[in-house]
Amino acid sequence: MRAVSLHVTGIVQGVGFRPFVYALARRLGLTGWVKNTTDGVFILAEGTDDALGALAGALRAEAPPMAVVTSVIAEDVEYEGHDAFTIAASETVEGAMTLVSPDIATCDACAAEVRDESDRRYGYPFTNCTNCGPRFTIIADVPYDRPMTTMRDFPLCETCAAEYADPADRRFHAQPNACFRCGPRLYLQAGGTPDDWRWTPECESVPRPHRDPDAERERASAIIAEAVRLLREGTIVAVKGLGGFQLACDATDEAAVARLRERKNRWGKPLAVMAPSLEAAREYCEMSAEEETLLTSPAAPIVLLRLLDGVAQATPALAPSLTPGLRELGVMLPYTPLHHLLLDAFGGPLVMTSGNRSEEPIATGNAEALARLADIADAFLLHDRDIYTRYDDSVLRHTPGVGVEFIRRARGFAPFPLEAPFTADVDIMATGPEQKNTFCLLTGSHAFVSQHIGDMENAETLESFEHTVELYERLFRVRPRIVAYDLHPEYLSTKHALSLGLPSVGVQHHHAHIASVTAEHGVAGRVLGVALDGTGYGTDGTIWGGEWLAADWAGFERVAHLRQLPLPGGAAAIRRPARMALGALAECGLLDHPGAGPFYERLSEGEESTVLAMIEHGINTPRTSSMGRLFDAVASLAGVRDDALYEGQAAIELEAVADMTAEGAYAFEIVIRDSGAPLVVDCAPVLAAVLDDIVYRTPASVISARFHRAVTAAVIDTCARLAPEFGLAHVALAGGVFMNRLVVRGVADGVREAGLTPLTHLRLPANDGGIAFGQAVVAWARRHEA
């Protein structure tokens, strides 16, 4: 007989790890204890060599489904002679850090209980266990125990307390555990006027009293039935979810969807749909095995699915304005018991979009939602479990030849860290970009990339950013000593970084993109990075976005770039791609091309002369090498879109119309400049070919296909030319243009065929959501290099 101490780190709290260890130890005939601490889970086990070896092996091999074991450190200790195996009280270790589980979609067992008329949780909208339910959104500090969560005001009833205390029960130490008698409850506010709406729960006492479960079940059932009735009548209902409010309406009711768009000021941008089941989703969308796996995973993200041909003839048909001009639909399945009850009763797909006005953070509090969403929603489905931190839905897709790709990383994934390919000797904060902001806290080998914060363009989003930073620093015991930031001087994230008074490291936008990809793959050496996006502040003061960089983590050399074009009006040209098109024609000497005739006819009176004068005199007309802006120009010339209602719309719709069965391709010209100067990838031949096709009345679908082939070929050819010159074997692909399926798949395949190794993101988006991780890596590398 001997004794071993085991220290287990990872996501091992709030996921049933202690009861798992308890049951395992008893099965193996071991004595001792297991306990939570702020530094992970500690186990003292006494027994035979064989039993102790089996325990150590099973901690990884048989861990609970939601546990993520990152390390197990074993150490022989003095034998004490325990007579049983117990679960000890949690302990706080000063300065230690433990990981926190993301929120987890309702497990099958809990979903079955909610639907089982004989179960005491039948119809209970907040059913959960150690395998599912809220985690990150309810925690204020660690260790993860009920008093540290927003469930602290709901004392357990005797039955729930017995479950909570029983190591053999799947609700053992499930901190959000509750039932009709003792847990959170629903409220519905509807009718009257917004001025009448106030958050006035029937009981505001703390702690909450216990109630009659039968009366509570009847009450909750009536509330859900009324919410469903309102939805069927075309009402917009604000539903309090896990990480904030969602705005729901009937996805087959065009009038309701149009009304939601108008009130929310969400023009054009696609809306996500929650389907009752996989079978219901298949009525409207194609679905591969990989996409089905994503939809039904514990993270339950929104998954981008291709709409079925003829979906407009489905019965009932989806509202046409859900995804105007696109061939894909964002679909998710119910991921809370409330969602399951609502969708089961409604019996069809619901729009489920973020509960905010466009460009603002999602509402989380009841009083806040009633105030901020009063002119959007007609009714509010509320509950009294507080949300501690905002948490948007994650968005993913699967692209053959590339794999699973993140569009937005949030619920179900954050705050689980990425593993850095090094161990930092000082904590580093990276404040991220302006659009699709996330931040990163790097401590040791853990890189905590936050959930999606949003576009940092207003005070409300900055406040949300600061609250979330403070939460991460507290939960994970991070004390930044260096801050990394984007070079753009006007970004709120940059200004925040520089206000902290810490040693700071400015990181060029596209260098951060490439460092983020290579660090995910653990490639520390120099690579050829291709960063294609809409906007990034360059080291020369111009706007970059079509870049080939020979880069490692510490630095980069700009070895090629897209030909620069004028951006007349700056941000105004981003909102109106027609301006970008006019600037491109002027720059490339194509203003008099006959193919531009249809384009000129769509310009407003005096627009051509005004924009050309701005370009000629350099008035508010920065230069840009952005590939995203070139997509805008081609989309406008081809008649796809002259005005963008949301960021990237023209490029997204240009991809959507592409008919890849059409033959032909345009071609960029690679211009070799003076020795040592970057190559220039010249778009003038492509634009001239686009105009030639317009003269011959070539459809936009064919123009798009030929343009996409030109972009793909230009990237591959430029890489094939530069990689041998600089002795590089890896090609890292990043930036928003690589959210385009045609581009990312075509380039990845072509790079492989050229004998090079493509690197794409694994657990971060290719768009600006991955920037912060790259900033932190660059800051560490420069400190290490110095």
Cβ atoms of 568 and 620 within 8 Å: the answer is: yes
Structure tokens at 552: 């490692």
Integer Cα distance of 652 and 487 in angstroms: 27
Using the 8-state DSSP alphabet, how is residue 736 labeled?
A: G
Total count of residues recorded for the chain: 786
The whole-number pLDDT of residue 744 equals 98
With 0-12 CB in 10 A as exposed, 13-18 as middle and 19+ as buried, what is 164? middle
Integer Cα distance of 476 and 483 in angstroms: 17
Integer Cα distance of 128 and 106 in angstroms: 7
- 704 vs 534, 651, 662, CA distance in Å? 18, 10, 10
Q: Is 128 helix (H, G, I), strand (E, B) or coil?
A: coil
Cβ atoms of 83 and 29 within 8 Å: the answer is: no
Q: Is 226 helix (H, G, I), strand (E, B) or coil?
A: helix
pLDDT in tens, 187-196: 999 976 666 6
Nearest to 302 by CA among 436, 228, 410, 417: 410
Alpha helices in 298-383 (DSSP H): 337-346, 366-372
Nearest to 414 by CA among 397, 398, 434, 437: 437
The whole-number pLDDT of residue 224 equals 98
- Percent of the chain whose predicted confidence (pLDDT) is above 70: 98
Residue type at 718?
T
Integer Cα distance of 713 and 681 in angstroms: 11
Residue type at 50?
D
Integer Cα distance of 588 and 39 in angstroms: 61
pLDDT in tens, 380-389: 999 999 999 9
Integer Cα distance of 594 and 578 in angstroms: 17
- 288 vs 234, 299, 306, 309, 763, CA distance in Å? 32, 18, 10, 15, 20
The whole-number pLDDT of residue 202 equals 57
Nearest to 544 by CA among 558, 528, 529: 558
- 647 vs 66, 92, 653, 736, CA distance in Å? 36, 46, 12, 11
Integer Cα distance of 516 and 514 in angstroms: 5
Integer Cα distance of 597 and 70 in angstroms: 62
The whole-number pLDDT of residue 605 equals 95
646: Cα separation from own chain's centroid: 18
Extract the residue ranges of the chain whose pLDDT is less than 50.
none
Structure tokens at 427: 């904590």
Integer Cα distance of 156 and 80 in angstroms: 35
Q: Is 403 helix (H, G, I), strand (E, B) or coil?
A: strand
